[in-house]
A and B are shown apart, each in its own frame.
Chain A
């Protein structure tokens, strides 16, 4: 016993080091596997408020550009509205609403790591929940991962864990959108079968398989495509519409039917077993 205590006292620094190293490795490896259980993320109160303060100062510098972008988006939406074939006034029947949208602002963005997260300034208080889709006026951005009262972190599509259902516009050939961690303006679309005719410049949009994003949200255009190692699927480089380095206003999409879809899917799985 005496010897054990002596050993501990003699090597206390080393033991402390090993202990702390193991703690941090456990946290790191755990969040590699379960993406929902990250304890430390910038959506908490302290970091959120610091980022919000810094954003409050720096956001003044881009106001003109941001206003211009918003006006352009409004113009596009008005175009859509005026050129709709039916000339009935816009109906707002709650039975027809499938998605609700909240808007937020990015207060922290990163795009140079293998796993990038974006922090936004709305949270539980504004009824943001994990697994909601996040988009900008130009296209898809990511999926909400952690939520605190006032803030939320978003797993960006520039994240090696990201995996989003996507398809080629105007067809029903779908695949998964992933990121190979190389370039911040390019993501990869995989699992598109070889028989699909592709051309460089084709538009990629979100698919209908996802319960998170509505169908047909723009993602990017095909920049380059090759067959993958199995020679039966394409490996497609997608040039993203979004400039991931410069994002201010985002929209968070809540699919009202999502709980029902999930419940149904889990019932189906349990019935199968």
Chain B
């Protein structure tokens, strides 16, 4: 059981990195929209696992994406931020009951799932574009990018998550 969950996470990790760098980094929809679907890894990652491992893994995930897209360590910084904030976001979205043993992401309502994903994406994109553009003078540009790219990320992530839905265990 445990080994299969490890296996699934490793496969997910690899596939998401490859899909991100080989497909979505080249999309350039309207010239600048490249959705970041690798955030799904953090959405899907089991809730009750060791938090330190989760933060480390997320850092590694961002790092791999950085490697491929020559973005220094911006992906790593923003991914590790949402990894750290994930429990707080979950408490906000699902209430306290997410800490119970019986809680599964698949059992939550659709609206809750979407809110959870959207919050992850917004925080991630805010950190990402603030670091990438790195100037307060361009705050409008940052907001524009967060909005446009965040929306496309959300749509694609929802499509992916309904394609490969988490099994109801």
Contacts and interface: CB of A to CB of B under 8 A. Distances in A.
A211 B113 CA distance: 57
Chain A interface residue number, banded: 35 or more
A273 B111 CA distance: 69
A13 B70 contact: no
Nearest to A43: B70
Interface string A129-150: 0000000000000000000000
A38 B133 contact: no
A149 B168 CA distance: 48
Interface string B29-44: 0011110000000000
Given A16-B55, A112-B34, A28 B67 contact: no
Given A32-B134, A112-B34, A184-B31, A13 B84 contact: yes
Contacts, number: 94
A264 interface: no
Contact of B59 (A14, A24, A25, A153): A24
Interface of A: 12-14, 16-17, 20-21, 23-25, 27-28, 31-32, 38, 40-42, 44, 46-47, 50-51, 54, 108, 110-117, 119, 153, 184, 245
Contact of B77 (A24, A44, A54, A110): A24
9 contacts: A21-B77, A21-B81, A27-B72, A32-B134, A47-B67, A47-B68, A112-B28, A113-B132, A114-B133
A20 B25 CA distance: 24
B106 interface: no
A20 B80 contact: yes
B61 to A, nearest CB: 12
Contact of B70 (A25, A50, A153): A153
A110 B73 contact: no
Q: How large is the interface on B (under 10, 10 to 19, 20 to 34, 35 or more residues)?
A: 35 or more
Contacts of A12: 52
A188 to B, nearest CB: 16
Contact of B131 (A13, A28, A50, A112): A28
A40 B73 contact: yes
Nearest to B17: A50
A42 B68 contact: yes
Given A25-B131, A28-B131, A51-B68, 9 more contacts: A17-B84, A25-B77, A40-B72, A47-B67, A108-B68, A114-B133, A115-B70, A115-B71, A184-B31
Contact of A28 (B21, B32, B59, B73): B73
Contacts of A115: 70-71
A184 to B, nearest CB: 6
A50 B77 CA distance: 24
B10 interface: no
Contacts of A44: 67
Nearest to B78: A24
B56 A50 contact: no
A24 B80 contact: yes
B76 interface: yes
Contact of B52 (A13, A23, A184): A13
Contact of A16 (B25, B56, B72, B132): B56
A31 B72 contact: yes
